[in-house]
Chain A
């Protein structure tokens, strides 16, 4: 893999990148319409593919938070046409690494020693990009380690990056500006947390201990004394990424086992810890040769306050959703129905949200759920596309917590779908409150 020699960091440079992308996309549209002139039957697939490729190209050169946004967009398959999704998924694995001397320098700043003085063995070429950092193999006292190193100046550039991505996200997602602002602010907060490696080590240890009793899940061991502001040292987990794993044609039983581990991991956190690993993109998981799920990144944690948790997850229970009066109260608390709505609007949104939740909650309603069925996902996507086109949904609705909680759960559903796993869904059930 070719090493990337510099991240364009100043805003001007980054802007230039995005402007370039803008031109390319413009060009793609021109190409598309001139072709369409001769062939009126052509659909938008090719155009979307061209656009996604160009956007991906510019995002992957920007690295840092822009890459993170690409990852995020690629999670929301329900919001994006398929072509975007395929391209954006690339960013989840391969991003070019930074120079060796900068890594040495980072260590000297943090520990006053070079990596070779700290570890018995340290590979200067990185094995994996971790979007705002990269991962290196190391060894100490016979133990294999993974060392995650962050690029300098990441925190600085996040805010300005997000501002730049905004017009593109705006186009891609077709959201209203106000909605996007809520989204961006929440994203910015989470991203800034992710740049804090001290926090990540603390949380990783906390969460891996809290989840230690779950079946078929392994966590790396963290070494706080070898970690710091921009470096995290953890034990190396041998394993394959989801795509590689699926390429080996695993048995249904093994798929189910991994799927079950994922389900338990997320729902234990959501319903018992009320704080969840909110970054379910495939790059954060490894499947070990023993058929266990390795969780290797706790950078992004979403905490759910009670005034969000109860109304949101309680609507997944039939008992609440059948009681219209209480359901409306819950929707109001979640700002899905606003005080200024007319009675007609209240009815409309009540109907739509009830349908949406009915879809979303399906896996919760039965003891087991087969995530391989495409019907369920087609319904979800179609519904997503339907409401995306409705003028009523151009306006911002719902509290900000939805962003990451939705992303987490749709992300989870998507991974389970890719695994084609059948999962026991009653292992960790939502705590339900029936009155509001």
Chain B
């Protein structure tokens, strides 16, 4: 029986053994003793397989953290941390594949094709976490910027992913530290800060301090 999972598994096995993508779907299908059309019923291309592996990792991690009893009691910051930890823990089971897949990605600003599914899973989660955080006033609701929080979080995620792939410490403890520090820094920026207060004070003075008149506005 050809399933999504069986193809994913066979594909990972293939690329890790041979160190490269199969020459064609035909070659791959033949080796797996399945008809080419059966492959196409499930996936359109090899990239689609890779994409689905990444997407599944994120989806599994999200399901897992949401299943934890503590999830509901977590703050937005803790929810993000929790997801990061779970994702990177899961990633360990597919580390060789992840390393191979990440190294293949050309560095650039655009989100690579294989991460598009991953990104949309991640964004959906980010948006709900950030929304909650803003509603509970844990995070500052800043005009224009608040909508960009999710992008900052994604950048943080990609950075941590690259860090994790290159981490050689025992038990990947450095990755844990990178997560703890990185996510916290990002959330510190999302929180109300002295700069917010300064800006608002400035606004107040402009409106009430007679600055407008003096400056001739």
Contacts and interface: CB of A to CB of B under 8 A. Distances in A.
Contacts of A124: 70, 73
A101 interface: yes
A212 interface: no
A49 interface: no
Given A99-B78, A109-B171, A104 B180 contact: no
A102 B85 contact: yes
Given A5-B184, A6-B180, A116-B70, A101 B82 contact: yes
Contact of B181 (A9, A100, A105, A108): A9
B139 interface: no
B140 to A, nearest CB: 16
B85 A105 contact: yes
Nearest to A99: B81
B70 A104 contact: yes
Interface range for A = 10 to 19
B82 A6 contact: no
Contacts, number: 58
Contact of B68 (A6, A102, A104): A104
Interface residues of B, number: 25
Nearest to B89: A108
A305 interface: no
A153 B176 CA distance: 9
A99 B171 contact: no
A99 B89 contact: no
B46 to A, nearest CB: 32
Contact of B81 (A102, A109, A152, A153): A102
B56 interface: no
A98 interface: yes
B173 interface: yes
B132 interface: no
B90 to A, nearest CB: 10
Given A99-B77, A101-B74, A104-B68, A152 B177 contact: yes
Nearest to B176: A152
A216 interface: no
Contacts of B74: 100-101
A274 B179 CA distance: 44
Interface string A1-40: 0000110010000000000000000000000000000000
B185 A6 contact: yes
A114 interface: yes
B31 interface: no
Interface in A198-222: none
B24 interface: no
B180 A98 contact: yes
A98 B74 CA distance: 14
A5 B179 CA distance: 11
B70 A102 contact: no
Contacts of B174: 153
Contacts of B180: 6, 98-99, 102, 152
Contacts of B173: 152-153
Given A6-B181, A99-B81, A101-B84, 18 more contacts: A6-B184, A6-B185, A9-B177, A99-B78, A99-B180, A100-B74, A101-B81, A102-B180, A104-B70, A104-B82, A105-B86, A108-B85, A109-B89, A114-B68, A116-B69, A116-B70, A152-B176, A153-B177
17 contacts: A6-B181, A6-B184, A6-B185, A98-B180, A100-B70, A100-B74, A101-B82, A101-B85, A102-B85, A102-B179, A105-B89, A108-B89, A114-B68, A116-B68, A124-B70, A152-B180, A153-B177
Closest 10 CB pairs of A and B: A101-B81, A101-B82, A105-B85, A5-B184, A6-B181, A152-B173, A6-B184, A152-B176, A100-B78, A153-B177
